[in-house]
Chains A and B, each alone.
Chain A
Amino acid sequence: MGKSSDIKLITDGKRIDGRKPNELRPVKIKAGVLERADGSAYVEVGGTHAIAAVYGPRTLHPRHLVNAQKAVLRTKYDMAPFSVDDRKRPGPDRRSIEISKVTREALEPVIFLEQYKKTGIDVFIEILQSDGGTRVAGITAASVALADAGIAMRDLVAACAAGKVDDTVVLDLCGKEDNFGQADMPIAYAPNEDKITLLQMDGDFTEEEFETALKYALDGTKRIYELQKKALKERYEKNE
């Protein structure tokens, strides 16, 4: 977690942006936002803006990566240099390489990869504006983009974080809460399948705090899941 500070993050039971502990920021999801990609989606969670694109199933290069039993899923998470307060140097760093890995592992459990033998499926996630919870916004977007690409899936994956600020367990940390809070735990969840496909945590949780945070996060993902389905339905209605 970030630096300890004197910033008060909870006043009279309200968070710095006025939310209750178990309240999400406003979430906006749109499917099919890019012309060329096979599937795409745009997600806003408060001040965090993410866009995801899917290419494939398509011929996989380099050829030695080809798996005869299933498709190879590749994910790339990237933060735009202008997405943060101090310009980020473009290109992958250690953080984004790790996030790309856990994002792939969050999506793999719900994709019928065995239906697309010997191919590659590429998922690209760009964070255009960052205000906390970028990896989970990216996963939420990627999941919708995969569905938009018509890739066979067992379920959608919805993601959000829970954490702790001023000794209170909260849902969906904003940037300030992430920086000055006490714990952050991003979760990705496939509600219909009851699968937790991503779990990371850093900070300080007692066992009880963890269980509350997990409950908040699973509730949060279920709300986001409904918005994902709505976004996909809207996309189809428009195409008719």
Chain B
Amino acid sequence: MNKIIPELVRNSVIGSIKEGKRLDGRAFDEYRPIEIEIGDLGKAEGSARVKIGNTRVECGVKIGEGEPYPDSPDEGILTVNAELVPMASPYFQPGPPDERAIELARVVDRGIRESKSIELKKLCITPEELVKVVYIDAYVLDYDGNYIDAAAFAAVNALQHTEIPEFGKLPVVKKPISNTFAKIGDAIVLDPSLEEESVMDARLTVTIEDNGHVCAMQKGGSGYFTADEIKNCIKTAKRKTKEIRKLVK
């Protein structure tokens, strides 16, 4: 991706951050505007569209039935998939999910799974035989930076409004919120834009539960973090998450 970003953009992003400013005028710990639309996809049991700035993710929840896993015979199954569809960006190619899409799906999955957001035991129909399967599919339709938080937030919103026919509301009890930071030089910014991602050294996602605990983290990118940088990201994430969680519809 770096090859395509002109040196000019690179210099202006880095130059601006050195002066304590972001190109779009945001504070280092400020999200772009977040828009949420719930449930306009009629065939999905639950759905949400989330826009963070110009990044747009469509998330659908489908419910099926299947055999439980042998090590959790009385629990429903959660599966998360993500697609970086080629219409979203010139950097996305058609084909099966690549490592970026797989990482995205697994980071979203860990946030929901580890916070025990869905009461999976309530999705058991017959132990060892039949359980409900929750399929979460996040489609990145327009990529302008930070698809991780957009996808995770779309999933959280869609789950809140998932109705299973002849069963009732999907039992959702937690709202894990992911916060993605980009490290650019010595600075760390929240919710990186596409320009910022194209010049970032490394990325850190911190997912915070309703009680302020950390339930998932993921470093990405070919740079590094120091211990203090990670500790500061967690503090910022804990603080920002309170605002973001209020936006959940």
Contact = CB atoms under 8 A, between A and B. Distances in A.
B106 interface: yes
A75 to B, nearest CB: 10
B214 A207 contact: yes
A190 B99 contact: no
B215 A202 contact: yes
A185 B99 CA distance: 21
Given A100-B99, A101-B99, A196-B224, A210 B218 contact: no
Contact of A202 (B105, B110, B213, B219): B110
B217 A200 contact: yes
B121 to A, nearest CB: 10
Given A101-B103, A190-B224, A218-B227, A199 B219 contact: yes
A203 B217 CA distance: 9
B15 interface: no
A201 interface: yes
B5 to A, nearest CB: 14
Contacts of B227: 196, 214, 218
B216 interface: yes
A214 B230 contact: yes
A197 B214 contact: no
B26 interface: no
Interface string A183-198: 0010000100111111
Chain A interface SS verdict (over half): mixed
Interface in B195-229: 202, 204, 209, 212-227
A202 B219 CA distance: 12
Contact of A198 (B214, B215, B219, B235): B219
B100, B218, B221 interface centre (most CB from chain A within 10 Å): B218
B71 interface: yes
A105 interface: yes
Interface residues of B, number: 36
Interface in A74-123: 94-95, 97-98, 100-102, 104-105, 108-109
Contacts of B212: 206-207
Nearest to B218: A200
B224 A195 contact: yes
A2 B234 CA distance: 24
Chain B interface SS verdict (over half): mixed
B209 A204 contact: yes
B71, B99, B100, B238 interface centre (most CB from chain A within 10 Å): B99
A102 B220 contact: yes
Contacts of B214: 201, 204-207, 210
A167 interface: no
Contacts of B209: 204
Contacts of A97: 99, 102
Interface of A: 1-3, 94-95, 97-98, 100-102, 104-105, 108-109, 185, 190, 193-207, 210-211, 214, 218
Interface of B: 71-72, 99-100, 102-103, 105-106, 110, 113-115, 202, 204, 209, 212-227, 230-231, 234-235, 238
25 contacts: A2-B71, A98-B99, A98-B103, A101-B103, A102-B103, A105-B221, A105-B222, A108-B222, A195-B226, A196-B225, A196-B226, A196-B230, A197-B219, A198-B219, A199-B218, A200-B219, A201-B214, A201-B217, A202-B114, A204-B215, A206-B212, A207-B238, A211-B231, A214-B227, A218-B227
Q: Which 7 A-B pairs have the closest CB atoms?
A: A195-B224, A108-B222, A201-B217, A199-B219, A101-B99, A205-B214, A109-B224
